[in-house]
Amino acid sequence: MASKNRLIVVANRLPVNRVKKKGRLAWETSPGGLVSALKPFLTETGGSWVGWGGSPGKAPTPFTHENIQIRPVSVTAEQVEKFYAGFSNATLWPLYHDCVRTPQFHRRWWWPYVDVNRQFAEAAAAEAKPGDTVWVHDYQLQLVPAMLREIMPDVRIGFFLHIPFPPLELFAQLPWRREILTGILGADIAGFQTPQGARNFSAACKRYAEASGTDTKLEHRGHTVVSKAFPISIDIENVEQAVTSKEVIDRAEELRKDFASKRAGERKILLGVDRLDYTKGIEIRLRAYEELLRRGAHTVDDCVLVQVAVPSRETVGEYAELRAFVERLTGRINGEYGQAGRTAVHYFRRNLDYKELMAFYRAADVMLVTPLRDGMNLVAKEYVIAKTGEERAGTLVLSEFAGAANELGGGALLVNPHDVDGLAATMDVSITMPESEVQRRMGLLQRAVRKNDVYGWAHGFLEALRS
Ligand code: ADQ
């Protein structure tokens, strides 16, 4: 039943994928936490989702899917290259992740970013009615809040940034810093993963966008904007259900045998699961593992590294380079330290299906989450819940530069992900940690993650937006 005040979600991608079923094209709900978290709110209010369908060219006409109005936005092939691969992923992505790669500033990318943001704002305005709530997501669409407010002043607008908002000194480099800040300031609430992100945003607005106010409340051209942390989480129940199913338990056991068994005793499984992205710290993690083996305190007889990497943004130059580098390094480590029947690093470049991923988590003794910078990092939270009901707990090694460190710092082993020696030393500690300490830390982690799931996150944001 559609209620009066609807929710309209605006995100780069639609919550549905085009698939071929029995020779005919159909739409299927895409997997993912964001989609499942927002679905109840959308179906309850007869809400809409505005986004790109994933193929360049003319967009399909709006349609209804599982009681959600879907409004696809057209994005041309040239815009995909300049707005998406260019400005979003080669300018903003590195700039917002502490410049771990040099951001590229090109005017020829900026204008398509403005154009595509306007297309999204117009599509949102076509869906919204006065009194509705519009929730805009992420770095690709930072101009949408102000553009939409100009067309429709009488809607509530929320904006959530999934990646970090950088410190003032780095953000200051952006030639279009004022335009971006003014864009977000069109929202009633600007949400971030951490309190630091919210503070960075407020500081930048006061310095470069003539806003006044505090770390959490800004005044801009007579409009009040709340700047606040809303740490995202996972669908806890979904993970629990999967990992307590016989299928996943058996598969985890099988993986343990495949990776970890040796003639006498067992090897400790160290696991990394990431998009193949230069912000995730995969190469330094591999070098630290190499250092651990070089020191001789551990050998392939007592530990093994399993790295699962999903291919990502392969048309962007830096990503292709990273892949080549990671693959060379893996080969070098195996060449140097592998033994017959005992590979040092198992490297999988693929997307695992959900249950398989859960079985990998469950089988792992140590989870290595070592991004150089990360908005939150859901892998860390998934791993913790994947250990539900498992006698053999596990240790989380977590970068102090992941948003998740704010909530999980108590139970995890925190590391500086740039420090090869420090990381190798922490790997050593995690491999030799007494079982009672592993259990104690896992207890702390589980309590911390269970405080907030992705539904609580969405509910908290929307409550704040509607009040
Ligand atoms: P991402 O950078 O994609 O997200 P992350 O939070 O770790 O980072 O989410 C990745 C998701 O992909 C996880 O749910 C994980 O299970 C899945 N995944 C990773 N590798 C996989 C594999 N090999 N096979 C299958 N699934 C895999 C951005 C920000 C993060 C922020 C999220 C949500 O960069 O900081 O936490 O958005 O806001």
Q: Which atom of ligand 1 is nearest to the CA of 403?
A: 35
For a pocket test of ligand 1, which of 275, 307, 319, 346 has the largest count of ligand atoms closer than 8 A to its C-beta?
275
How remote is the CA of residue 184 from the centroid of ligand 1, in Å? Answer: 24
Task: Per residue of the chain (467 residues), give pLDDT as tens.
Answer: 445 689 999 999 999 988 888 888 888 888 777 888 888 888 888 899 999 998 899 999 999 998 899 999 999 999 999 999 999 999 999 999 999 999 999 999 999 999 999 999 999 999 999 999 999 999 999 999 999 999 999 999 999 999 999 999 999 999 999 999 999 999 999 999 999 999 999 999 999 999 999 999 999 999 999 999 999 999 999 999 999 999 999 999 999 999 987 665 689 999 999 999 999 999 999 999 999 999 998 999 999 999 999 998 887 888 999 999 999 999 999 999 999 989 999 999 999 999 999 999 999 999 999 999 999 999 999 999 999 988 889 999 999 999 999 999 999 999 999 999 999 999 999 999 999 999 999 999 999 999 999 999 999 999 999 88
Active-site residue (options: 65, 162, 223, 418):
162
pTM exceeding the 0.95 threshold for the entire prediction? yes
110: left (phi over 0), alpha (psi -120 to 50) or beta: alpha
Q: Which atom of ligand 1 is nearest to the CA of 277?
A: 2
Contacts of 153 (CB under 8 A, 6+ apart): none
Q: How far is CA 138 from the centre of its chain?
A: 11
Is ligand 1 within 6 A of the CB of residue 242? no
All domains in the chain, ordered by first residue: 7-232+454-466 (3.40.50.2000), 236-449 (3.40.50.2000)
The first and second tokens of residue 254, run together, are 């099988």
Indicate the burial class of 332 (C-beta count within 10 angstroms; 0-12, 13-18, 19 or more).
middle
Q: How far apart are CA 259 and CA 353, in angstroms?
A: 19
For a pocket test of ligand 1, which of 354, 376, 401 has the largest count of ligand atoms closer than 8 A to its C-beta?
376
Q: Are 309 and 400 in contact (CB under 8 A)?
A: no
Q: How far apart are CA 357 and CA 273, in angstroms?
A: 9
Contacts of 193 (CB under 8 A, 6+ apart): 161, 162, 163, 164, 229, 230, 231, 232, 375, 376, 403
Residue 374 among the catalytic residues: yes
Sheet with 303-310, edge to edge strand ranges = 345-349, 303-310, 268-275, 366-369, 395-399, 413-415
Contacts of 332 (CB under 8 A, 6+ apart): 290
Is ligand 1 within 6 A of the CB of residue 357? yes
The first and second tokens of residue 355, run together, are 């249950």
Q: Is the dihedral of CA 54, 104, 118, 458 positive or negative?
A: positive
How remote is the CA of residue 380 from the centroid of ligand 1, in Å? Answer: 10
Is ligand 1 within 6 A of the CB of residue 273? yes
Q: Are 306 and 271 in contact (CB under 8 A)?
A: yes
DSSP secondary structure code for residue 74 in this structure: -
Q: How far is CA 41 from the centre of its chain?
A: 21
Q: Which atom of ligand 1 is nearest to the CA of 380?
A: 7
Is ligand 1 within 6 A of the CB of residue 232? yes
Nearest CA to ligand 1 atom 16: 379
Q: What pLDDT score was predicted for residue 262?
A: 66
Q: Are 201 and 188 in contact (CB under 8 A)?
A: no
Q: How far apart are CA 402 and CA 381, in angstroms?
A: 12
Q: What pLDDT score was predicted for residue 1?
A: 46
Q: How far apart are CA 314 and CA 329, in angstroms?
A: 19
Active-site residue (options: 188, 274, 374, 453):
374
Q: Which atom of ligand 1 is nearest to the CA of 352?
A: 24
Place of tokens 């991004």: 371
Which amino acid type is present at position 199? R
How remote is the CA of residue 274 from the centroid of ligand 1, in Å? Answer: 7
How remote is the CA of residue 133 from the centroid of ligand 1, in Å? Answer: 27
How remote is the CA of residue 167 from the centroid of ligand 1, in Å? Answer: 23
Nearest CA to ligand 1 atom 38: 162
Is ligand 1 within 6 A of the CB of residue 393? no
How remote is the CA of residue 3 from the centroid of ligand 1, in Å? Answer: 33
DSSP secondary structure code for residue 51 in this structure: E
Is ligand 1 within 6 A of the CB of residue 376? yes
Q: How far apart are CA 267 and CA 300, in angstroms?
A: 8
Q: What pLDDT score was predicted for residue 416?
A: 98
Angle, CA 370 vertex, CA 369 and CA 371 arms, to 5° = 110
Q: Which atom of ligand 1 is nearest to the CA of 375?
A: 35
Is ligand 1 within 6 A of the CB of residue 162? yes
Which amino acid type is present at position 301? D
Is ligand 1 within 6 A of the CB of residue 454? no
Nearest CA to ligand 1 atom 1: 377
Residue 412 sits at φ, ψ, to 5 deg, of -85, 165
Is ligand 1 within 6 A of the CB of residue 16? no
Q: How far apart are CA 375 and CA 95, in angstroms?
A: 13
